[in-house]
Amino acid sequence: MTLLVMRPSRLDDFDDLMELADLSGPGFTSLPVDEELVADRLAASEKAFSRRPDGPQQGKFLMMMEDVHSGATAGCCAVKAGIGLVRPFFNYRIVTILQSSNVVDRRFSMDALVLTNEFMGYTEVGTLFLKKEFRGGGAGRLAAQSRYLLMAAAPDEFGDMVLAELRGVVTPEGKSPFWEGVGRQFFHMDFQEADYHSGVTDGQFIMDLMPKYPIYVDLLPPEAREVIGRCHVDGIGALKLLEWEGFRFERVVDIFDGGPQVSTVRDNIRTIRESREVVFESGDVDESGPPALISTDDLSGFRVTWAHFADRGTSRIVLSDETLDALKIKTGHKGRIWVRPNI
């Protein structure tokens, strides 16, 4: 039986992370196929989990999903403690403009895209990717919810507001209908080239070339209009999980592929609200019932897994020795448990 655990990334995860970057495909901006950037991501994550970020709220936490029995890497996810603090974080906000004329008796509204940089200090969750052979069976939830349990373990490291960007509609050939209708007109480059520069530069080229005035949606080609605020087919499951957690679409989209951005207050995130602090004990557990998410509370040794448990009251739970070993903890350690409600 496969036993999956989320753990902090290590410098020796380089080859595995490069493989995940290659498998993720076009449009996955947060994990480009770039050796220097991947090495930097791993170094930054090591500093973040050691509480040595480059500055206040600048930790970049990267977690790897590992098959405990085989040692194989199954996927990854990440949390940026604070965005927009070092480099701008650009988006399009969709605004509705009311047009009216009494002279010709016309009143109607039109949507426009307005470039914005208004999310300074938000925490961003993202970079969630799983290999196909590990998808299903709770792996997606493990990766997604581990990010919120990380925030619960060290709340002072993160912002009060949390957002997530989802990859927009991109064809198998790597073309974005939104980019073709909007971005190409201002950048004069292919989507994949712009996507790459977004991941490996400080974003100055966006400030230099992006339009400074509203773009009327009705003037865009139909193919571009139709995908505004829509996520890639591979991201539909992730969007549903985000909505289940309490994230909402606030009419903000990505400047490159038009994918949706969703956000919420950190303390309103369902996993954080419904999880509780506990002390772990070793013992026998009944594995006939549904498992729960179990996480440790030590940032440098943070780990999360699905496990069966026995409840000894509100603050103590029993775990099997196998689970304790997977989490690299012993009896008496503290952590959190999230039990999925019966719905």
- HEC-encoded secondary structure of 78-119: EEECCCCCCCCCCEEEEEEEEEEECCCCEEEEEEEEEEECCC
Residue 327 CA to residue 196 CA, distance in Å, equals 36
Asked whether 82 and 58 are in contact (CB, 8 A), the reply is yes
Q: Which member of 69, 188, 197, 232 is catalytic? A: 232
Which tokens is 178 given?
């939104």
DSSP code of residue 161: E
- Biggest distance spanned by C-alpha atoms of the chain: 81
Which tokens is 108 given?
């109607």
Residue 331 CA to residue 18 CA, distance in Å, equals 36
Q: What b/e sequence results for 57-84 when a residue is b if at least 16 CB atoms lie within 10 Å of its CB, and e otherwise?
A: bbbbbbbbbbebeeeebbbbbbbbbbbb
Strands 106-116 and 292-296: unpaired
Asked whether 231 and 135 are in contact (CB, 8 A), the reply is no
What does the radius of gyration of the chain's CA atoms come to, in whole angstroms?
22
Q: What b/e sequence results for 267-303 when a residue is b if at least 16 CB atoms lie within 10 Å of its CB, and e otherwise?
A: eebbbbeebeebebbbeebeeeeebbbbbbbbbeebb
User: Does 69 participate in catalysis according to the annotation?
Assistant: no
**Catalytic residue ranges:** 232
